[in-house]
Amino acid sequence: MTTISGYDVSRTDQIRALSANTIAFTVCFAVWTIFSIIGVQIKQELGLNETQFGLLVGTPILTGSLIRVFLGIWTEQLGGRIVYVIVMLLAATATWLLTYAETYPQFLLAALGVGFAGGSFAVGIACVSKWYPKERQGTALGIFGAGNVGAAVTKFTAPFVMVAMGWQAVAQIWAGGLVVVAILFWLFTKDEPDLVARRRSGVKAKGALLQMEPLKNVQVWRFSLYYFFVFGAFVALALWLPRYLVGVYGLDIKQAGMIAAFYSIPASLFRIVGGWLSDKYGARRIMYWTFIVSVICTFLLSYPSTSYVIHGIDRDMSFALSMELPAFMVLIFILGFFMSLGKAAVFKHIPVYYPDNVGSVGGLVGMIGGLGGFILPIAFGALNDLTHVWTSCFMLLFLLVSTALTWMHFAIRRMERRKHPTLREPAYLPELGERPQGIK
């Protein structure tokens, strides 16, 4: 039995809360990324160019990102149970209505409603963190965040449903599944310990303005940039890879969906490992691993297929450099794996630095990360139209992660010098995990 906010919480209560939130988030994420599959057929039916396609698949990500701050605040005030159910029912309604769209503007409007599913992340983060003590929040949030695997669920199953029954059937089945999960969530979950404690004591939750006070800190925006890459780029690639694989390697949509799922699974499930590693070794160290490996992967993936001609003494010699599909799959798997570690590490920071503002801070960080999932697919499409180079998407990601790594390193060094200006060894900061010997 663990006491949280003066309320006795059993191990069973914790497992039930974590399981319910994770399952709900998985289904929400499957709905949120539905356009990664059905968007390919819609693109063909409407004759969309690459930029229009990028806007279509990114529009749900926009809604799901922008509402995260507000949903996080409302979760702190009203509790995750009621807010989660409302979000799921709204998303399910919009997904069902999507089947009635006929024109491109109508599809964009429906996609905005589908995006409510993505807002579930802010609700779940605020909710799950309330059920666990600080020393176990990294692992718990890592398990919850593994709900990103919903993107892989869509990529594994939606292509077969779409080929057999049409994209409309995909939208209807996914909407129905979300309604079922919403009902089960309401029936089998409890209110968070701090909400119960507030009701008993008659204390009101902080107002929205007080909850948003920490958003003035530059540190929060730095965490947001990290998440813009580890989560935003993950969502963007989850949406973009089927189209990329069809265009670059000539695969059909079922093959492309399966391979894209090969990326989405490690970028989701290994978030659990990232949470555990962040608890054990510290979130900062995990962020360094994530960014360094991601720089290497995106650099290799960004190199376009190139032919060279060497003018020899008596003849010309030519050769070509290109990345074959197996090598691409290996690199994208590694990239997804380290992104998953980074996603968990970012959110390990938040309850440590802002324990009373997890909803608002987590909502903002989640919003900025989600905006990456909206902005980047559009940027990928625009770069394709402008440069006519398929690997331009990875060039952009290389620039993004290099910037994040540089800012993180210099910000950390500045914090260490300010805290311990005479020490050569790194100073102890909360997100390091266990306190190193000799560091006070």
pLDDT in tens, the chain (440 residues): 666 555 566 788 888 888 999 999 999 989 988 988 888 888 888 888 877 887 888 888 888 888 887 887 888 778 878 999 999 999 999 999 999 988 999 999 999 999 999 888 888 887 887 878 777 777 788 788 778 778 778 888 888 899 888 899 999 999 999 999 999 999 988 877 776 666 666 656 555 455 556 566 777 888 888 989 998 898 888 778 888 888 888 888 778 877 877 777 766 677 778 878 887 888 888 999 999 999 999 999 998 877 777 887 778 777 667 778 889 989 998 998 899 888 888 877 777 777 666 666 777 787 888 788 788 888 888 888 888 888 899 999 999 999 999 988 888 788 767 665 544 444 445 444 444 443 33
CATH of the domain at 328: 1.20.1250.20
Q: List phi, psi (to 5°) of 34.
A: -60, -30
Note whether residue 316 is domain-resident: no
Note whether residue 260 is domain-resident: yes
Residues comprising the chain, all counted: 440
Euclidean distance between CA atoms 129 and 18, whole angstroms: 9
pTM, two decimal places: 0.69
Residues facing residue 3 across a β-bridge: 8
Note whether residue 124 is domain-resident: yes
Residues facing residue 9 across a β-bridge: 2
Q: What is the pLDDT of residue 433?
A: 44
Note whether residue 298 is domain-resident: yes
Note whether residue 438 is domain-resident: no
Note whether residue 211 is domain-resident: no
Q: What is the pLDDT of residue 358?
A: 66
Euclidean distance between CA atoms 19 and 24, whole angstroms: 9
How many other CB atoms are found less than 10 A from the CB of residue 190? 15
Note whether residue 253 is domain-resident: yes
Are the C-beta atoms of 240 and 396 separated by less than 8 Å?
A: no
Rg, C-alpha atoms of the chain: 22
State both tokens at 53.
């396609």
Which DSSP helix (H) or strand (E) runs through 13?
helix 11-32
3-state helix, strand, coil in the chain (%, to 5): 80, 5, 15
Structural domain including 376 reads 9-192+241-305+323-416+426-432
What does the DSSP assignment read for 304-356? Answer: PPEEEEEE-SSSEEEEEE---HHHHHHHHHHHHHHHHHHHHHHHHHHHHH-TT
How many other CB atoms are found less than 10 A from the CB of residue 53? 25
Q: Alpha carbon 336 to chain centroid distance?
A: 11
Note whether residue 65 is domain-resident: yes
The domain tally of the chain equals 1
What does the DSSP assignment read for 145-195? Answer: HGGGGHHHHHHHHHHHHHHHH-HHHHHHHHHHHHHHHHHHHHHH----HHH
* CB burial of residue 12 (10 Å; 0-12, 13-18, 19+): exposed
Q: What is the pLDDT of residue 435?
A: 43
State both tokens at 151.
């993107």
